[in-house]
Amino acid sequence: MSKRELIFDTETTGFDPMTGDRLIEIGLVEMVDKSLTGEHYHQYVNPERDVPEGAVKIHGITTDFLRDKPVFSDIMDDFLEYVGTDSVLVAHNAEFDMRFINWELENAGRPIIHPKRFIDTLAIARTKFPGAANSLDALCKRFGVSNTHRTLHGALLDAEILADVYIELLGGRQAGLDLAVDAGGAVVREKKARERRSFPVSDEERARHAEFVTKLNDPIWNA
């Protein structure tokens, strides 16, 4: 059965929705069986408040730019339809993004997305590279993932970059391995069941083999 994962990122006005910060951008790219499908979801969101200058310096999204964008309740149904009910959501420092998304859903009177549906690539990276720098930029450098076009943070761009980093964190695109992450964030590698292949032997090959066997001196199977 195919496994659908949504690699995503958000941009916000700050660090904590409980103190008034809001979601302003969300970007998701679709991956099925560890391959990008080309499908994505992207939306800017009017936070109904000003975007602090410190946040603008990070992502470049201003209050004026967001003024005519829809509020979250207006895009909520489309977002939930895209996310579905069982797709895995993968983010770098997923707790941060999950907190903002679920706050918006709860504020709109909708059920939250269960935390077990989220995978945190930061947690995976910290397990694989303890004590090392594990920001998205640092992981791009470590794995040779190009992020030269990334001058500012942007949700969709970061999601696309993270998709490549996620694959590398799971060991790369290695043939014959089924790569996954368990509920504790540990990488699990299992052998894929390969289709049985047939290598028919021709009559000529059989005859040559029989001739070769007659020329052997004291073969071990006669011992």
Q: Which amino acid is at 128?
A: K
pLDDT band for position 113 (cuts 50, 70, 90): very high
For residue 1, name the pLDDT band (cuts at 50, 70, 90): confident
Lowest-confidence region among 43-52, 121-130, 145-154: 145-154
Does 203 show up as a binding residue in the annotation? no
Is the model's pLDDT at 60 over the cut of 50? yes
The structural domain count of the chain equals 1
Question: Residue 46 domain-assigned?
Answer: yes
Mean pLDDT of 154-166: 93
Whether 213 is covered by a domain: the verdict is: no
pTM for this entry: 0.76
- What CATH number is attached to the domain comprising 29? 3.30.420.10
| 149 marked among binding-site residues | no
Instruction: Tell me which amino acid residue 195 is.
Output: E
**pLDDT higher for 174 or 10?**
10
Flag whether pLDDT at 68 surpasses 50: yes
Confidence of residue 199 (pLDDT cuts 50, 70, 90): very low
- Residue 134's domain comprises 4-191
Average pLDDT of 120-145?
96
Residue 185 has pLDDT above 70, yes or no: no
The position carrying tokens 């695109």 is 173
pLDDT at residue number 213? 53
Q: Looking at 25-29, 91-95, 152-156, which range is the least confident one?
A: 152-156
- Known catalytic residues? 153
Within a domain: 198: no
pLDDT above 90 for 177: no
Domain assignment present for residue 21? The answer is: yes
pLDDT at site 197 = 42
- Would 127 be classed as within a structural domain? yes
pLDDT band at 71 (very low <50, low <70, confident <90, very high): very high
Q: Is residue 219 part of a domain?
A: no
Rounded CA-CA distance 67/70 in Å is 8
Map residue 170 onto helix, strand or coil. Answer: coil
pLDDT above 70 covers what percent of the chain? 75
Q: How confident is the model at residue 2 (pLDDT cuts 50, 70, 90)?
A: confident
Confidence (pLDDT) at 204:
67
Give the lowest-confidence range in 52-61, 134-143, 195-204, 208-217.
195-204
Taking the C-alpha atoms of residue 187 and residue 179, their distance in angstroms, rounded to an integer, is 7
- The pair of three-digit structure tokens given for residue 44, joined into one six-digit string: 């800017």
The rounded distance, in Å, linking the Cα atoms of 63 and 53 is: 9
- Which spans in 42-110 are helix H? 53-59, 63-66, 72-83, 94-107
Q: Would 91 be classed as within a structural domain?
A: yes
* 205 part of a folded domain: no
pLDDT at 211 over 70: no
Joined together, the tokens standing for residue 170 give 């799971």
